[in-house]
Amino acid sequence: MNVNEAIDLLKDKGYKTTGKRKDILNFFEKADGYRTAKDLLQHLEATYEGISFDTVYRNLHLYDEVGILETTELNGEKHFRLNCTHHHHHHFICNACGTTKEIAVCPMDEVRQALGNYDIEGHKFEIYGLCPSCQSA
């Protein structure tokens, strides 16, 4: 998803597109991988002096709720990234820096066979470890 698609989605859902909301989207569009609310807060503080953690987290929750952001948990903390809507894939996620790498492998064919008559409504497949940069650091 890109910033324009995200703005259109917000408008379709009846939400205003403020300068802060656009800046949040731009932050995630430029980020390579998952980022925390704290990362976003530090980025926004340069432009919006006194911005509260509550404001940041409310917007992150909204973006997650409407499908702009996807989330994962790393080291006990929620991390966010722009939703990947262009095609079905999964991610390798670096535990140290949050960088992601797309992986095309999906185990769902085997899972569907194993679960037979269960109604699967969605899935998420993530692999965690260290990226090459963090391994050499």
Architecture per CATH, 3-82? Orthogonal Bundle (1.10)
The tens digit of pLDDT for each residue in 17-70 reads 999 999 999 999 998 788 999 999 999 999 999 999 999 999 999 999 999 998
pLDDT at 27 (0 to 100): 96
**What is the per-residue pLDDT across 8-25, written as a single tens digit (0 to 9) for each?**
999 999 999 999 999 999
pLDDT at 121: 86
Which tens digits make up the pLDDT trace of 71-95?
A: 888 888 899 988 876 667 788 988 8
- Top-level CATH class of 90-136? alpha beta
How confident is the model at residue 100, as a pLDDT?
Answer: 84
Tell me the domain boundaries of the chain: 3-82, 90-136
The model carries a pTM of 0.76
> Long-range contact list for 122-129, CB < 8 A, 24+ apart?
124/72, 124/90, 125/90, 126/72, 126/90, 126/91, 126/92, 126/93, 127/90, 127/91, 127/92, 127/93, 127/103, 128/74, 128/92, 128/93, 128/94, 128/95, 129/92, 129/94, 129/95
